[in-house]
Amino acid sequence: MLFRKKFNVEEQLTKFLSEHQGKIIIDGDHSLVGISANKYIIPGIKHELIVDIPQEVWKRLLEYLNITGDPEVLFFEKGKVHSLARDEAKKLLLSKS
């Protein structure tokens, strides 16, 4: 008898994040960065992720949004933007999966 392997969301997310080491936007408008970055949806996770953002575009984005410091992740929620560390973002994504 064949059994389908259980889908592990955490494992998939960890793999995805290790493959995309750069800055991340969670639930942001893809039109902000356009063709310079890629948008992904991971099965089991409700939020959309924008990754592979070039450094130059990221700097401009922070200036555009008036965000100080050097955050690793930007989380868009109800018209507000939150700066997060990579670990915090992972926890957030898993908590709402």
Partner 1 sequence: MEDIFKRVYKVTEVHDNNVWEELQKRDLVVVKLIAIERFSKKKLNFIPYGHLTSYVGYVNVELIKYKNWNFFAILPPVNNMLRKKFGLGKFAMYIQERDPTERMHVSKEVFITIDEKDVYNFVRARANVVS
Contact positions vs partner 1 (CB under 8 A):
30-37, 54, 56-57, 60-61, 64
Contact 53, 61 (CB under 8 A): yes
Q: How far is the CB of 41 from partner 1 (least distance, A)?
A: 19
Closest CA to 97 of 43, 21, 19: 43
Structure tokens at 61: 């984005």
52 versus 72: smaller Cβ distance to partner 1:
52
How far is C-alpha 30 from the geometric centre of its chain's CA atoms? 12
Q: How far is the CB of 29 from partner 1 (least distance, A)?
A: 8
13 versus 73: smaller Cβ distance to partner 1:
73
